């Protein structure tokens, strides 16, 4: 299509004839050597910028897809919005390589839904610590930079540097996997980058499958490879647990913005990138579904690690945030999954589990007090479990039931 648009018949006429043609029709002279060199050098950047612009347009247009779920599909403006969205998306897909669309699209989503909001929240934490602490569920304890001495500031800058590096590194690994699959092994791409739009029910199904599989994979990796017990028998598990402990748990005593992507790059790959990307690869998500999935995951990372007591959805994000806080406060004795489903099933929840969140949503009450109580309960449970079972990380269902009963007793006081 592009080649046809560039076709100019006057370029095929003899120069003696074409010299008489008006400028608007005549074949333009070939570009100079300097212009060709300049274009060769800048084309990777200009083309990447063009993908970024189109992807951002497509992401901004994504909410219009939600109109598909509303039965007023026949309305004129909705159809027009969808048409514009389809044009933006098909221009993006037809004019760029699928690998570039996937990599630049993923980077754009990570930037818009994770780096930008997390960076803004972190800036507020650093510039206005007093104001920020009053909104945090753990108060002063959740502030990332309490000590402003030179050494601490450098240490904190190092954490942020690794955190941002890991985001880019994760997307690069994702691109490398796709490149290996398509260019080296000659297999179809992991994601479907096509002009056809996915159907609404297909999007919902893929998102649910992806998020559940991500929770399961994260739980398995985090529980068995990164917290393999006091003395893991396997040398690899021992090394991975030591890395996760000395990087993440030593530096992150309470979650703060940009902390979810801080860890040793290998651990970040195992715990965050692969559990997120493998389900998308396995079910061959449509690129648009993947963008939506990545946006949900990025927003979850942003909100559940910001430390604020009040979150947009108290039941889902609030529950995940409280469980992350307890995971950090107890040095990783429980709450290994992302959404809490596996922790609930396996009995590795500390403090509250997913079912407690439902109860909490019903009896909306004081969040700050609740988090402090949960953290205290989590530590007490760990101590009890350590005393009773010689340091085992599991916290049984019985103790959780007791916790819930105790809480309902104390709440009724
Ligand atoms: Zn951990």
Tens-digit pLDDT profile for residues 29-79: 777 777 777 777 777 777 777 777 777 776 666 654 554 444 444 556 666
Whether 133 has a pLDDT exceeding 90, the answer reads no
119 Cα to the center of ligand 1, angstroms: 23
- The C-alpha torsion from 288 through 292 and 294 to 296, rounded to 10°, is -170
222 Cα to the center of ligand 1, angstroms: 6
299 Cα to the center of ligand 1, angstroms: 20
pTM of the model: 0.73
More confident residue, 60 or 272: 272
C-alpha count within 13 angstroms, C-beta hemisphere, residue 46: 6
122 Cα to the center of ligand 1, angstroms: 22
Residues measured by CB to lie within 5 Å of ligand 1, the ion: 332
Tens-digit pLDDT profile for residues 296-305: 999 999 988 8
271 Cα to the center of ligand 1, angstroms: 9
388-410 burial, b at 16+ Cβ within 10 Å, e below that, comes to eeeeebebbeebbeebbeebeee
Measured at the CA of 8, the angle between CA 6 and CA 9, to 5 degrees, comes to 150
Whether 350 has a pLDDT exceeding 60, the answer reads yes
401 Cα to the center of ligand 1, angstroms: 24
More confident residue, 12 or 121: 121
324 Cα to the center of ligand 1, angstroms: 9
68 Cα to the center of ligand 1, angstroms: 40
Tens-digit pLDDT profile for residues 355-393: 665 566 555 545 555 555 555 655 565 555 555 444 344
Share of the chain above pLDDT 70, in %: 76
264 Cα to the center of ligand 1, angstroms: 12
94 Cα to the center of ligand 1, angstroms: 43
98 Cα to the center of ligand 1, angstroms: 35
407 Cα to the center of ligand 1, angstroms: 26
Tens-digit pLDDT profile for residues 155-187: 899 999 999 999 999 999 999 999 998 888 888
Q: Measured on CA atoms in the order 22, 24, 30, 33, is the torsion positive or negative? A: positive
171 Cα to the center of ligand 1, angstroms: 22
60 Cα to the center of ligand 1, angstroms: 34
76-92 burial, b at 16+ Cβ within 10 Å, e below that, comes to eeeeebbeebbebbeeb
Mean pLDDT, rounded, for 17-37:
73
136 Cα to the center of ligand 1, angstroms: 21
Mean pLDDT, rounded, for 312-323:
74
Q: What is the pLDDT of residue 394?
A: 42
Tens-digit pLDDT profile for residues 199-234: 888 889 999 999 999 999 999 999 999 998 767 778
203 Cα to the center of ligand 1, angstroms: 31
Residue 341, Cβ density class (10 Å: 0-12 exposed, 13-18 middle, ≥19 buried): middle
347 Cα to the center of ligand 1, angstroms: 16
378 Cα to the center of ligand 1, angstroms: 15
121 Cα to the center of ligand 1, angstroms: 23
361 Cα to the center of ligand 1, angstroms: 27
Q: What is the pLDDT of residue 389?
A: 43
Tens-digit pLDDT profile for residues 278-311: 999 999 999 989 999 999 999 999 988 888 877 6
244 Cα to the center of ligand 1, angstroms: 7
Share of the chain above pLDDT 90, in %: 26
């Amino acid at each position: 299509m592009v080649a046809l648009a560039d076709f100019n018949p006057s370029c095929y006429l003899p120069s003696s004839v074409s010299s008489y043609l008006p400028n608007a029709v005549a074949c333009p002279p070939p570009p100079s050597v300097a212009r060709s060199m300049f274009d060769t050098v800048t084309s990777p950047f200009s083309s990447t910028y063009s993908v970024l612009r189109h992807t951002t347009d497509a992401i901004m247009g994504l909410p219009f897809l939600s109109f598909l779920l509303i039965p007023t599909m026949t309305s004129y403006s909705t159809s027009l919005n969808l048409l514009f969205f389809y044009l933006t998306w098909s221009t993006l897909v037809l004019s760029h390589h699928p690998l570039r669309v996937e990599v630049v699209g993923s980077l754009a989503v990570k930037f818009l839904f994770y780096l930008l909001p997390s960076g803004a929240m972190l800036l507020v934490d650093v510039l206005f610590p007093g104001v920020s602490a009053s909104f945090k569920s753990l108060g002063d304890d959740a502030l990332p930079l309490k000590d402003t001495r030179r050494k601490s500031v450098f240490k904190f800058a190092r954490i942020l540097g690794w955190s941002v590096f890991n985001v880019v590194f994760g997307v690069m690994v994702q691109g490398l996997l796709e490149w290996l699959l398509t260019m080296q092994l000659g297999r179809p791409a992991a994601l479907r980058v096509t002009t056809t739009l996915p159907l609404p029910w297909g999007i919902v199904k893929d998102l649910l499958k992806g998020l559940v599989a991500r929770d399961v994979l994260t739980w398995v990796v985090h529980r068995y490879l990164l917290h393999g017990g006091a003395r893991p028998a396997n040398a690899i598990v021992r090394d991975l647990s030591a890395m996760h402990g000395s990087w993440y748990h030593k530096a992150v005593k309470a979650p703060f913005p940009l902390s979810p992507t801080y860890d040793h790059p290998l651990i970040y790959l195992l715990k965050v990138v692969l559990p997120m990307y493998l389900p998308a690869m396995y079910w061959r998500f449509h690129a648009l579904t993947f963008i939506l999935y990545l946006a949900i995951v990025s927003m979850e990372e942003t909100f559940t690690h910001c430390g604020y007591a009040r979150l947009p959805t108290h039941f889902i994000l609030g529950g995940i945030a409280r469980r992350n806080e307890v995971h950090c406060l107890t040095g990783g004795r429980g709450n290994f999954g992302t959404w809490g489903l596996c922790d609930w099933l396996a009995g590795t929840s500390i403090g509250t589990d997913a079912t407690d969140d439902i109860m909490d949503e019903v009896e909306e009450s004081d969040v700050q007090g609740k988090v402090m109580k949960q953290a205290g309960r989590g530590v007490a449970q760990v101590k009890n479990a350590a005393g009773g079972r010689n340091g085992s990380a599991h916290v049984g269902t019985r103790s959780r039931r007791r916790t819930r009963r105790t809480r309902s007793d104390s709440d009724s006081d």
